[in-house]
Amino acid sequence: MSTESERACLVRLQEMDAALARMQRELPDDVRSLGIEARRQVAVWLDRLAAGSADLSQLTDAMREIAGLMDALTARLLLVPWGGPRRPGPKS
């Protein structure tokens, strides 16, 4: 993979990770594991890129899969009625 391609993939993976981190705080419990899995996949590919062992075709497939997970998570967030920021429960 060329240095320019690697740099572009690295930037995109970092953007994905940042977006997933922001999303994670608001995910409903029923899809929280999907968010964790998506971030795990991003971390794996960030490590592979850093080690120089990323195969372009595998990376392309992985990024497509991660983007699909992100789309599903975004759709789920949009389907959940939002009642404002989460408030801590009553203190006992």
Domain boundaries of the chain, sorted by first residue: 3-79
What pLDDT does 26 receive?
87
Judge whether residue 92 has pLDDT over 60. Answer: no
Judge whether residue 14 has pLDDT over 90. Answer: yes
Judge whether residue 27 has pLDDT over 60. Answer: yes
Which residue from 35, 76, 43 is spatially nearest to 62, judged by alpha carbons? 43
0.95 exceeded by pTM: no
What pLDDT does 1 receive?
56
Q: Is pLDDT larger for residue 8 or for residue 84? A: 8
Judge whether residue 20 has pLDDT over 90. Answer: yes
